[in-house]
Amino acid sequence: MRELATRSRPCSRWREILLLGFVFLTVDADLARAHIKWFKPFDISERPLPIGEVLNRTFILLFITSVVLIYVFFLADRYAYKKGVLVAFDERLRVFDGLSVAIMRAAACIFFVSLWAYGVFAETPFYITPELVTGAAWVPWLQLAMAACALTARTTPLIGIGILILYVGGLVEYGLFHMLDYVVFLAIGFFFFATAFASRSWRKAGFVTLFATTGVNFLWLAIEKFAYPHWTYPLLEEHTDLLMGMSPDVYMIVAGYVEVMIIFTLLGAASVVTRIIAFAFQALFVLAIFKFGMIDAVGHLMIIAILFVLVVRGPTEARKILVLETKSPQMEAYFMTGLYYLAFVNAFLLYYGLHYLLVERAAP
């Protein structure tokens, strides 16, 4: 009997892993796209959930599941890449730099006009995202000027300067750790500055910085779901349909893993599937607007634009750094799985370490 029980335990664990893998593929990810700080109270100064409490049974099972899924994904991705599946088509689309810049300029114009309108007509000025509220009267007018700068190519670099001013304003009022949530805006500012030059190397630097920083930024926000799951519980009480029968604590772990995996595959895929992932990710943001409203639409507009650019133009040639041309797809899948593990662990170390250095030690 004891031997039978011992054999059944691994079987039941693998059944749980497969079930959780299915949840990964079917979970409603609206909540993963909603930035909780825009909708519910939060407190940056409180300590994140201790690592010992984060590493519970569900978290570990989901980690094992995610590792398996990451390996399978990159095995298929690298096989498709090496077999040349739609590679020529993918490469031809990478010439749309001019169109991509135009998309970003149009999005920036709408975005900063929206911020100006909120500040003037709704009397709720904020720096770059809804919870970064400020009483500074000059902020909406700077945002309107930045929207005007998006109308011409010559004045586009000034958007970058404006973003830097707004970001510094947020740093002064909200602190560095809080503003790390929005480091992607610094990348957007650099993108507008770099792509104003005719030099191909500057343009490439602009796109590389934009795509890489967007991915890293979302990886950072995914760790927040593990560190502060209770911030989201009030929202889950209002939208119980999101839970799909799961408890709130389990759902938050699943949502965090969904986001980590989407971001890592988006950053690491070498085949044309990158565009498919970017399109699906963008669709999640658009669908979330119907559930969370105009604040979500304004707050995520620039992210939606970046993902649309990734769909239209595709990743830069820098992506090939992650491709081991002389190795088999199996070896490349092992390599990318190792990078996934490294990225996951380092994201946790950075989040908890920087919170300790920038918030806990700095507290009076």
Residue 284: the pLDDT is 80
| DSSP letter (8 states) at residue 356 | I
The answer to whether 105 touches 360, Cβ cutoff 8 Å, is: no
Angle value at C-alpha 223, between 219 and 224, nearest 5 degrees: 115
The per-residue pLDDT for range 34-71, each reduced to its tens digit, is: 566 777 788 888 999 999 999 999 999 999 999 999 99
Residue 22: the pLDDT is 44
15 within a domain of the structure (yes/no): no
CB half-sphere exposure, 360, CA atoms < 13 A:
10
Residue 126, beta-bridge partner list: 133
| Amino acid code (one letter) for 52 | G
226 within a domain of the structure (yes/no): yes
95 within a domain of the structure (yes/no): yes
> Residue 71 to residues 19, 89, 264: CA-CA distances in angstroms?
18, 25, 12
The answer to whether 263 touches 83, Cβ cutoff 8 Å, is: no
Quote the number of domains for the chain. Answer: 1
Residue 32: the pLDDT is 46
Tokens describing residue 284: 């999640």
Sequential pLDDT tens for the chain (364 residues): 444 344 444 444 444 444 444 444 444 444 445 566 777 788 888 999 999 999 999 999 999 999 999 999 999 999 988 887 767 766 666 666 788 899 999 999 999 999 999 899 888 899 998 889 999 999 999 999 999 999 998 999 999 999 999 999 999 999 999 999 999 999 999 999 998 887 888 888 999 999 999 999 999 999 999 999 999 888 888 878 778 788 899 999 998 999 899 999 988 988 878 888 888 888 888 877 777 777 778 888 999 999 999 888 887 777 788 888 888 999 999 999 999 999 999 999 999 999 999 998 877 6
Residue 195: the pLDDT is 87
Tokens describing residue 1: 């009997």
Tokens describing residue 171: 């740093």
> Residue 126 to residues 26, 130, 295: CA-CA distances in angstroms?
35, 6, 12
Tokens describing residue 207: 């796109």
Provide CB contacts within 8 A for 44, sequence distance 6+: 175, 177, 178, 359
CA neighbor of 89 nearest in space, from 314, 324, 278: 314
Residue 160: the pLDDT is 94
Residue 24: the pLDDT is 46
Q: Please tell me the chain's helix, strand, coil percentages from 3-state DSSP, rounded to the nearest 5.
A: 80, 0, 20
Chain centroid offset of residue 117 CA: 26
Distance CA 227, CA 253 (A): 10
Tokens describing residue 167: 């970001």
Q: SS3 for 27?
A: coil
User: Domain range holding 351?
Assistant: 27-360
| DSSP letter (8 states) at residue 198 | S
Residue 29: the pLDDT is 44
The answer to whether 303 touches 314, Cβ cutoff 8 Å, is: no
110 within a domain of the structure (yes/no): yes
42 within a domain of the structure (yes/no): yes
Distance CA 267, CA 218 (A): 11
9 within a domain of the structure (yes/no): no
